[in-house]
Amino acid sequence: MVKAGPDEKVYPVVKIAMVVNALAAEGVALKDALAGVAISKEALSSPATRVSLNEVVRCYGNAARLSRDPRFAYHVGLKFHVSTYGMYGFAILSSANFRQTMQFAVRYHQLATPVAEISFKEERQRGVWTIAPIAHPRIDAVLYRFIVEMQFGIHVSLHRDIMGPAFRPRELTVTYGPPVDAQHYRQAFESDVRFDRPDNRLMFDARLLDGAPDLGAEITYAELVKLCDGLMEEMQLHAGLAGKVRKILLVNSARPAGVKVVAQRLHMTARTLRRKLRAEKTSFRKVTDELKMSMAIKYLRDTELTVDEIAHLLGYGDTANFRRAFRRWTKRGPLEFRGLSRRVGRAAA
């Protein structure tokens, strides 16, 4: 799980862009749709743009206030498709069976700019999605409902993409009470909606999980999962205090900075740095080791550098120490790992 602070810009801009476009269709000016969000019109369409959870929440709050459509959140959610999510979406589409699809969607949900936690299980012949908006000071009752209903729309749309356009939930439950227009919910959501329940849940016939995806392909799926792993690693690199430590260490990996130097650059003492990293359930040594391991794997997989050269690039004065460290990380020697990864790559090609 990637632990990003609410102001850290680590997520794609797509969710903000979808909401802004839907508001524009209602005649809402861009400056109003993006009030409190420092993003240009050009940046909304750039795949390189990264945003924070705070910016996403502010944009949702603007939409909840400005839209004239009482079902705006759900209707925007229905506009999301697997292609909206890039590699994450294409991996969902390529999964070879629907149960694998559900597990993947939960495991890599961080790639979808999560303003809600999601989980999936099967019970009593039903597939059950549970949706819990994140704890955030700006998420009041109105925004809570907005997030839940938008997530319902997203789930319905993605299920239709992978299971067919006839997909319908059997039932939806929400934790909030019935709004003044509750009588219209059944028609709007094409499903029974039950209020004042313990959880926000979307339920469907579990027999649908026995079907086979039309575009499922194990080899393609495996390759896309690797790409998603890379995206998760990139996100982790920039998330939290640990992410700031990684960025400092990356500046010159051949002469790695010690904890005191890193702490000074972060304007804190080494003791404070260690304490704050413990709060993120990590340590300076663990962050350093994980970064070196990730870089070593990339060098071995993607370059022709010798083991001696890689050891030097990672700051090891003695190649034997690098070999021992790499075996501790992966249970294999560097050359054995390189050979295995190349064989696997050829087999998948």
pLDDT score of 342: 65
Residue 331 has pLDDT above 90, yes or no: no
pLDDT score of 347: 45
For 257-299, write each residue's pLDDT tens digit.
889 999 998 999 999 999 988 887 789 998 888 788 878 887 8
pLDDT score of 2: 53
The CA distance from 30 to 21, in Å, is 9
% of the chain at pLDDT higher than 90: 50
Q: Which residue has the higher pLDDT, 66 or 314?
A: 66
Tokens of 259: 């904890």
pLDDT score of 349: 44
- Which CATH superfamily groups domain 239-348? Homeodomain-like (1.10.10.60)
Top mean-pLDDT range of 45-49, 150-154, 246-250, 294-298: 150-154
pLDDT score of 4: 59
Residue 239's φ and ψ, nearest 5 degrees, are -100, 140
Strand-pairing partners, residue 129, are 120, 202
Residue 245 has pLDDT above 70, yes or no: yes
Identity at 122, one-letter amino acid code: E
The model's confidence at residue 135, banded by pLDDT at 50, 70 and 90, is: confident
* Number of Cα atoms under 13 Å in the Cβ half of residue 244: 17
Q: Determine the longest span between alpha carbons in the chain, in angstroms.
A: 72
Average pLDDT of the residues of the chain: 87
pLDDT score of 9: 79
Q: Pinpoint the residues of the chain covered by CATH 1.10.10.60.
A: 239-348
Q: Which class in CATH covers the domain with range 11-210?
A: alpha beta
pTM: 0.70
Tokens of 319: 């190649």
Cβ atoms of residues 167 and 204 within 8 Å = yes
pLDDT score of 228: 83
The model's confidence at residue 114, banded by pLDDT at 50, 70 and 90, is: confident
| Average pLDDT of span 205-227 | 85
| Average pLDDT of span 85-106 | 88
| Average pLDDT of span 35-43 | 92
pLDDT score of 5: 62
pLDDT score of 346: 52
- The set of residues, in sequence order, having a beta carbon less than 8 Å from that of 170 and lying 6+ positions away, is 126, 191, 192, 203, 204, 205
% of the chain at pLDDT higher than 70: 93
Residue ranges with strand state E in 238-291: none
Strand-pairing partners, residue 172, are 193, 202
The CA distance from 23 to 68, in Å, is 9
Tokens of 295: 């870089």
- The set of residues, in sequence order, having a beta carbon less than 8 Å from that of 140 and lying 6+ positions away, is none
Q: Pinpoint the residues of the chain covered by CATH 3.90.1520.
A: 11-210
Q: Which of 32-41, 159-168, 238-247 has the lowest mean pLDDT?
A: 238-247
| Average pLDDT of span 343-349 | 49
